[in-house]
Structure 1
């Protein structure tokens, strides 16, 4: 897995500056930046301002709003100086990303009001790539970033977007900047940082497609695991998530979460949904722990936190889980988390309507 880091920010900024330097003698204020309402000068300042704001929020661990300042150029700053500002603010973001603790999250409004260091790196890269495209389009310059950079942005910030044949045209389409054969035009869009749900001793950290793919292929998904590796059930769940992403049906709110222990940052298991809620507001949940973490109440804690989060939504009325008839420890976990054994009729309906295997028992919370 190619983790998002300061290296990708630096690479994107280098490409931006190299592209725009070919038009450094032009009047950027007189040229509209592609399809934007801004001119190229205003767009370049916006890029630098965002890079600085992301660096400040991450380094300052902003909680509820952006750090209250903004970038202002000195009077008389020319295009060459503006490019130097972009290089400098890019270096600040790269440094902030590379020195941040992986558990740190800071304010960003979309969609869950926070992002981790990989999220800030990906947002910085996205700003640079997309707005360099806008300015290059306006100035008549060629600009095609490395495919790996575009793919990283998609797999870290656009988990709801089905991958296309090539990453860069897909990213342009997903942000309303181009067409993609067989897909409708995009009029409005937002990127999507991962969902994180705090519990008492754990943090439920939403998996991004890039991390899920790495787990499926035998990697660590960017986490340090208690015992050295995730349990096989976590890899299997990650594989299902990747299939949903590649099919264009993955919904990040109802994905897979890694259970990260707050005291030391070690991953101890996985939990997640088997899909989105059905028409009756029913959603199924599954979980596992590495052997070294069992018997300490982590599964109960995680199950309770994710279930409460789900039932607080308008589109979820009940959360269900299935367990083998002879798996008494898992049944006790479900009971401690507030689930109850379903009645005979409910279990029969689950077998007929949802394909539940005959050897499983059904547990229900809510509805």
Structure 2
């Protein structure tokens, strides 16, 4: 990594680890007020679980996430077979000690995991990076602390920035509300939000990655899109000259789609990350989800220093193959300026054929 790019990627990792530490410390502080209460006989809010069962689940989730990151590469299609996080006879104070310990383990695992490394998680694309596991840990802690606190009648109003951290990383389809914390409660079926229907089923969404030979296409979260749109690096270590203006414009489009509640992350923006050195060379993605005819448009750009090496062709072939394997996509569309001969060669090598000239642009199509 370059000094600046590596430092910024490390800062993103550190922010994720600190979010885990803050949310767990706050949870333990609030719940210790109920350390002498009946955790077995008290229901955790709207859950069917007791407060003890909810706390055991939370500690187990934090331990499992830490274990996945620590053992990345060993368990690529399943969870590591770890045992229970809490001894059966632990009292409530002991439960909270375990909660703080497992939170520390997850934060440590996030800090020591390379930003681009991923480990198995089933929902919905089969893996997550360290920031994704941190967001899952923050979400679990926020929600189950709320459940337990509700059961005991304790006030719990977490820092809204923690809820925003979760929402902008693993809830990309949830339109932001007036405030992050009530929005997260609504999105997970725990509260109402004015003007929105109640949520009865929900699932978080980690970012999608698509292998592309010498590259990996990494899905851009709303948090990363917001940073890219205002001149940041989105947590990626870019080659010289990157990100190019088209990637920043696409990030702004992604952010707008998220803010208006129409974002579908699998049809959003991807950053092209070079396998040999984990540096970002460009951006590629869709202008939106497929229309009623199964048609969607692809756009891309590369940093100037990364051009002429076949990266765009490799990435476009991989993304096209992924898209056309879906049942909701029947054709892909791309437009190229007549004077842009390199880009015309890219789409032709990827299998697109020229079908029209529209608004002083050449139109290309690839059908499934």
Assess if the C-alpha contact under 8 Å between 2:65 and 2:106 holds in 1. yes
Query: Which piece of structure 1 moves more, 61-70 or 277-286?
Result: 61-70
CA contact (8 A) 1:53 1:70 kept: no
1:161: Cα distance to partner?
Answer: 0.4
Give the Cα–Cα distance (whole angstroms) in 2 for the partners of residues 72 and 206 of structure 1. Answer: 32
- Name the counterpart of 2:34: 23
Aligned structure 1 segments of 4 or more residues deviating by more than 6 angstroms = none
2:113 to 84, 93, 100: 100
Equivalence map 1:201-212=2 (5 Å): 201-212=214-225
Task: Pick the aligned partner of 1:11 from 22, 31, 43.
Answer: 22
Between Structure 1 and Structure 2, how many residues are aligned? 355
Aligned to 2:301: 288
What secondary structure is seen at the aligned counterpart in 2 of 1:165?
coil
The answer to whether the 8 Å contact 1:112/1:193 transfers is yes
1:362 aligns with 2:359: no
Of 254, 265, 283, 1:270 maps to 283
Give the distance between the partners of 1:74 and 1:282, measured in 2 at CA. Answer: 54
Structure 2: runs of 5 or more not aligned? 1-7
Contact persistence 1:277–1:315 (CA under 8 A): yes
Instruction: Give the alignment of 1:107-126 within 5 angstroms.
Output: 107-126=120-139
Gaps of 5+ in 1: 348-355
Q: Distance in 2 between matches of 1:341 and 1:266?
A: 32
1:184-211 Cα distance to aligned partner (Å, 9 max, x none): 0000000000000011000000000000
Q: How does 1:1-367 map to 2 (within 5 A)?
A: 3=12, 4-61=15-72, 62-227=75-240, 229-342=242-355, 344=356, 347=357, 356=358, 358-367=359-368
Question: 1:161 & 1:103 partners in 2: Cα distance?
Answer: 25
Distance (Å, rounded) in 2 between the aligned partners of 1:259 and 1:363 = 22
Give the direction of change, closer, same or farther, for the CA distance of 1:72–1:296 in structure 2 (3 Å limit).
closer
- TM-score computed with the length of structure 1 as normaliser: 0.95
Per the alignment, in what secondary structure is the counterpart of residue 115 of structure 1? Answer: strand
Check whether the contact 2:85–2:98 (CA below 8 A) recurs between aligned residues. no
Contact 1:174 1:186 in 2 (8 A): yes
TM-score, scaled to structure 2: 0.95
CA shift for structure 1 position 70? 2.2
Counterpart-to-counterpart distance in 2, 1:175 and 1:80: 28
CA distance in 2, matches of 1:324, 1:179: 48
